[in-house]
Amino acid sequence: MGTNAGLRNINDKSMPEANLPALDLASVSYAYGKRQALENVTFSIAPGRFAVLLGLNGAGKTTLFSLISHLFATRHGRIHVFGHDIDRRPGDALRRLGIVFQARTLDLDLSVHQNLSYHASLHGIRSREANRRIHDLMQSIDMSDRLHEKARSLSGGQIRRVEIVRALLHEPSLLLLDEATVGLDIKSRATILADIRKLVEEKGISVLWATHLIDEVSHADQVIVLNQGKLVANGPVHDVVKNAGAETINEAFSRLTGIYALNAGNRL
């Protein structure tokens, strides 16, 4: 399947967006009361890059996503999406963002088409254009025949794929996926990951893929590692591995998040 049907190519250099970082975080901190969830996080993602945000549960990935998607206000630091400050110009930033949340967010009582139409309207897309995009994208994931079924009748993997289609409907330039493959079987995981990588390759969409599953990292990816709210690594895979004094990304992740020490301790 290919989820890139009907999407424009943002690598077009005539577009001013192509010259700005897709996502840029500068000294972002966030606390829940006294508990510091994020501390001075700074990184950026170039247009057309596939960036993997790695972190254990509780590392701050979901908080970071909530800040980038303006569900939380950035109290310390700044976040820019293609040059648009998420807090000062949320509309301009949000229209460039496609978001797949960790929790399932389809309305199970509505049909797939109704869910997708609702999302299109939330981006001001008129029904004729919305129907065209819905048709094209659903066809590209071989799910056209499920369009008028209730979302409740879909499997977990199918719901996820529809959510990805939904996130692509308004033709975003940056796609955020928060643990998009959690709870899915190996085949569904592989299919979804391959689709997203294809989008990056063919259409130049930038992706921030949050996960705690190391096997989802590819050699060409940018890797950002969060541990207990702090950025502990950021860069190409080989740099992260080298800087951590490891031989593989798996080992590097273990070292950076303290699992390595924990495992070593267990062996004693």
Partner 1 sequence: MTDIASHAPIGRSRFSLMNYLVCLKGILIREGLRYLNQRERFISSLVRPLLWLFIFAAGFRQVLGVSIIPPYQTYVLYEVYITPGLCGMILLFSGMQSSLSMVYDREMGNMRTLLVSPFPRWFLLVSKLLAGVAVSIIQVYAFLFIAWFWGVKAPPSGYLLTLPALFLSGMMLGALGMLLSSLIKQLENFAGIMNFVIFPMYFASSALYPLWRVQEASPLLYKICLLNPFTYAVELVRFAFYGQIEWTSLAVVCGFTIVFIAGAIIAYDPSRGLVIKKQEGGNN
Query: Which residue ranges make up the site for partner 1 (CB under 8 A)?
Result: 15-17, 20-21, 24-26, 32-33, 37, 42, 44, 57-63, 66, 69-73, 78, 80, 82-85, 87, 89-95, 97, 99, 101, 103-107, 109-110, 114, 117-127, 166
Q: How far is the CB of 166 from partner 1 (least distance, A)?
A: 8
Residue of 171, 154, 155 lying closest to 120 (CA atoms) = 171
In the bound state with partner 1, the residue whose beta carbon lies nearer, of 129 and 185, is: 129
Q: Which is nearer to partner 1, 2 or 70 (CB)?
A: 70
Residue 41 CB, shortest distance to partner 1, in Å, is 11
CB of 127 to partner 1, least distance (A): 8
Least distance CB 26 / partner 1 (angstroms): 4
CA distance 247 to 250: 8
Nearer Cβ to partner 1 (198/231): 231
Tell me how far, at minimum, the Cβ of 266 lies from partner 1, in Å.
25
Would you say 33 and 70 are in contact if contact means Cβ atoms under 8 Å apart?
no
Closest CA to 213 of 57, 43, 37, 45: 57
Q: Which of 117, 105, 194 is nearest to 148 (CA)?
A: 117
The DSSP output letter for 243 is H
Measured from the CB atom, the residue of 2 and 44 that comes closer to partner 1 is: 44
Min dist CB 149 to partner 1, Å, is: 14
Sign of torsion, CA 226 258 251 191?
A: negative
235 CB neighbour count, 10 Å cutoff: 15
Distance, CA of 88 to CA of 103 (rounded, Å): 27
Question: Which residue number, 57 or 266, has a Cβ lying nearer to partner 1?
Answer: 57
Across the strands, what pairs with 177? 100, 209
Residues with Cβ within 8 Å of residue 155, at least 6 apart in sequence: none
Integer Cα distance of 119 and 169 in angstroms: 8
Nearer to partner 1, 16 or 245 (CB): 16
